Amino acid sequence: MIPSVLPTYNRAPLTFVKGEGAWLTEADGRRFLDLGAGIAVNALGHAHPALVNALTEQAHALWHVSNLYNIPQQQALADKLVEHTFADTVFFTNSGTEACELAVKMARKYFHDKDQPERVEIITFDGSFHGRSSAGIAAAGSEKMTKGFGPLLPGFVHLTFGDLDGVTNAITDQTAAILIEPIQGEGGIRPVPDAELKALRQICDDSGLLLILDEVQCGVGRTGKLFAHEWAGITPDIVMVAKGIGGGFPLGAVLATENAASGMTAGTHGSTYGGNPLGCAVGCAVLDQVATPAFLESVNRKAGLLRQKLEGLVGAHPEVFDEVRGSGLMLGLKCKAPNLDVVHAGYENEVITVPAADNVIRLLPPLTLTEDDIAQAMIRLDKAATQVEAVLESA
């Protein structure tokens, strides 16, 4: 009999009932160190006082009004994002995949309104992930996500990750945009080198294309800058945001330049919930914490410490791990042992990590992780690795 919850997930037998900072309490009372943060969502950890305050204050005042009316919390969050980023304008969604939908629509409308309606194609890369909507799965294109769901939304050209020559060769008079994650998350924490992001920006400039970045996972302070593309010093045209921006409240956004957004006039897009008072009150509280030099500096400092210790862990367990990759607090351990074995051994030692493609385990801890938490992380990951090693040796 089909379970009452549609069985699209293979769930671990863990039930968390409470969270505080980087720690989760299981129903049986065990405390787990959370290095997954709900897949980079709980940017400020669990039950951060500033977020609890923002949410409860807004909950007492007003939960929801339609986008038919002014929403001051939405205006405030948009103003903050415009102040702190390249963007001139922002649309709020409830998720990353909805941000992908709008990014695709925005790019097509841009060229439609420039009397180039044939320019509808978007170049994307293998290993990418842009969500589970029809546009999202067509954009990423991997068979794992698309099989059985055809006909797929047309207009995506899939290239090999890192193949810059391929990009130049793939551009035709139908190309509208390039869509890329500055660091692939689901794909296995695969960073795009700064030089390559710069080259993609140049290619877009030379061919009049829009550069769309998916920062749903790598954005909102995760890499130690507010957005990952800032490390490369480039200005994108459109950026997809979600996950960390709501700190656990379902919230996403599309950031855009005035030029890229020029086609999106009244009536061209909408959302019932997107940008509602509750979500935006929380989003403002998240941004007030994260978008400060001191906070980002602390992310970089802790990231440096964690990375250094992880290098030591890899050195100590060469049969289990291959290398550390990633940037800031978006780190991956490329495994030699099966990554799921390492994740499960983590569960047994009360530390949460997240598997990714390419036999990687992801560490996406709350950005508020403390040095004590890092010390605990290393103790638990070391135990987990020792356990995996023992199994490998007995096999």
Residues that bind ligand PLP (CB under 6 A): 95-97, 129-131, 181, 185-186, 214, 216-217, 242-243
* Beta-carbon count within 10 A of 315 CB: 9
CB of 242 to ligand PLP, least distance (A): 5
Whichever of 216 and 234 has its CB closer to ligand PLP, that residue is 216
Closer Cβ to ligand PLP, 190 or 317, answer by number:
190
Local structure of 177: helix, strand or coil = strand
Nearer to ligand PLP, 313 or 330 (CB): 330
CA angle 317, 321, 327 (to 5 degrees): 120
Residue ranges with strand state E in the chain: 16-20, 23-26, 31-34, 89-93, 121-125, 156-159, 175-180, 183-184, 190-191, 210-214, 238-241, 252-256, 321-327, 330-335, 351-352, 354-356, 360-363
CB of 294 to ligand PLP, least distance (A): 27
> By C-beta, is 145 or 381 nearer to ligand PLP?
145
| Structure token digits, residue 356 | 């990714």
Provide CB contacts within 8 A for 66, sequence distance 6+: 272
Q: Which is nearer to ligand PLP, 269 or 383 (CB)?
A: 269
Residue nearer to ligand PLP on the CB measure, 216 or 280: 216
**CB 96, min distance to ligand PLP, A:** 2
- Report in angstroms how near the CB of residue 99 gets to ligand PLP at its nearest: 7
Whether the CB-CB separation of 210 and 121 falls below 8 Å is answered with no
Least distance (Å) from ligand PLP to the CB of residue 13? 23
Provide, rounded to whole angstroms, the least separation between the CB of residue 34 and ligand PLP. Answer: 17
- Burial per residue of 51-81, b for 16 or more beta-carbon CB atoms within 10 angstroms, e otherwise: beebbeebeeeeeeeebeeebebbeebbebb
